[in-house]
């Protein structure tokens, strides 16, 4: 079940983001370097559009979108707990995010993807429009849009 996130979900969503990122075998040093980027605050949830996926009342995944301007929406986060990766949760979340974005006028949905998630987004019609250097020297992130 997908429902709107509430500000008090922030700490749990941060834990899910960190656990999901760790699934991809990054070093602890890399994960520690991303803590600020992956920390979600209640204030941030209050000013964005965030949705959670619940299984038996427990949040196991989420996404957050933010309006960049009148025509562009940014998919800021989409993370699933490792034990639910490959079980359709991400599929349902991305489809919900796309439909949510389509309700906005003249939308372009953009995301800065982790390289491990690039093929996931391509499957849903996203195209790479540029590469951006990450906080790790020599590592580039695909900027994608739908």
Q: What is the pLDDT of residues 121-142, one digit of tens each?
A: 999 999 999 999 887 778 899 9
Query: DSSP character for 146?
Result: -
Which pLDDT does position 30 carry in this prediction? 87
Whether the CB-CB separation of 61 and 5 falls below 8 Å is answered with no
Q: Which long-range contacts (CB under 8 A, 24 or more apart) does 120-127 make?
A: 120/90, 120/94, 121/94, 121/146, 124/94, 124/95, 124/98
Question: Against a cut of 0.85, is the pTM above it?
Answer: yes
State the virtual CA torsion across 93, 136, 39, 105 in degrees, nearest 10.
-40
List domains and CATH numbers for the chain.
2-145 (3.40.630.30)
Q: Check whether 21 has a pLDDT greater than 90.
A: yes
State the chain's mean pLDDT as an integer. Answer: 93
Nearest by Cα to 60 from 35, 22, 93, 102: 93
Whether the CB-CB separation of 141 and 135 falls below 8 Å is answered with no
């Amino acid at each position: 079940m997908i429902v709107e996130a509430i500000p008090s979900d922030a700490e749990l969503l941060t834990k899910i983001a960190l656990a999901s990122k760790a699934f991809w075998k990054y070093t602890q040093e890399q994960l520690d370097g991303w803590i600020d980027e992956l920390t979600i605050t209640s204030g941030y949830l209050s000013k964005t559009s965030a949705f959670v996926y619940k299984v038996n009342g427990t949040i196991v995944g989420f996404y957050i979108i933010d309006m960049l301007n009148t025509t562009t929406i940014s998919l800021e986060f989409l993370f699933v707990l490792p034990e639910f990766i490959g079980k359709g949760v991400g599929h349902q979340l991305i489809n919900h995010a796309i439909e949510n974005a389509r309700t906005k006028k003249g939308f372009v949905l953009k995301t800065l993807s982790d390289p491990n998630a690039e093929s996931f987004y391509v499957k849903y019609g996203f195209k790479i429009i540029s590469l951006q250097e990450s906080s790790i020297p020599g590592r580039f992130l695909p900027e994608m849009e739908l």
